[in-house]
Amino acid sequence: MKRRTNLGLIAGLLLACVTPVTWSADAVDASGPSQLIESASKAMLKDLDANREKYRKDRAGLYKTVDEVLLPNFDVNYAGQQVLGQTWRSATPEQRQRFIKAFYQSLLTTYGDALLEFTGDKLKILPYTGDPNANRATVRTQIRRDGGDVVSVNYSLRKADAGWKVWDVVIEGISYVKSFQQDFGAEVQQKGLDALIQRLENDAKSGKPTVKPVVK
């Protein structure tokens, strides 16, 4: 099923393309949407090239690197609100916090390995054509998959007090946020929000896939 296959690709690319290195905070430029994607990608690739083999043996080190720098460049609260939809409004502050933490930790442990295969020749950032004065933006990129196919990947960003932040990724017209909104919405209706949160927390601990793994 195409939507399910792309969910895995979305998760892997989401982690890969907004993840800078921990030891050089200045390497990431959040002053503009295109600058954020380009500088974060370059910094991430530099770190991977230097530590790829180490990370293959030390996945905890890889996850730690991603975990320490993902949140500052990703608008997790806004994305979490969109993923949960109406359920977010009725959720308690504790439920909201647990959901966001569990969801991204689950993605991290499930798809962090995709970073190890990500190289600079697979990413092409297209010229930015949006309004420079707007508070929302879309940065268009192309990803070359292992088989040679080129996939259109658009990043949705919002301008926050600290600069631009990514909140959604759209691959070939399929939104990461909307896809999980549909899947999680059905699960919440059947079992409740606490059950969903507990499952995500368990998945993160065990490394069990939250969605079907990426098809390369």
Beta strands 150-160 and 163-171 are antiparallel
pLDDT at 87: 96
What's the average model confidence in pLDDT over 79-83?
92
Q: pLDDT per residue over 157-166, tens digit each?
A: 999 887 899 9
Number of domains in the chain: 1
pLDDT at 8: 47
Residue 157 in any domain: the answer is: yes
pLDDT at 111: 62
What CATH number is attached to the domain comprising 13?
3.10.450.710
What's the average model confidence in pLDDT over 88-110?
87
Q: Kindly report which listed range (62-71, 87-96, 111-120, 121-130) carries the lowest average pLDDT score.
A: 62-71
- Alpha-carbon distances of 114 from 90, 106, 109, 145, 167, rounded to whole Å: 35, 14, 10, 12, 20
Residue 19 sits in which domain range?
A: 2-206
pLDDT at 68: 64
Residue 211 in any domain: the answer is: no
Residue 215 in any domain: the answer is: no
What's the average model confidence in pLDDT over 9-18?
52
pLDDT at 21: 41
Yes or no: say if 110 and 202 are a contact pair by the CB < 8 Å rule. no
pLDDT at 121: 80
Position 136 pLDDT exceeds 90:
yes
pLDDT at 193: 97
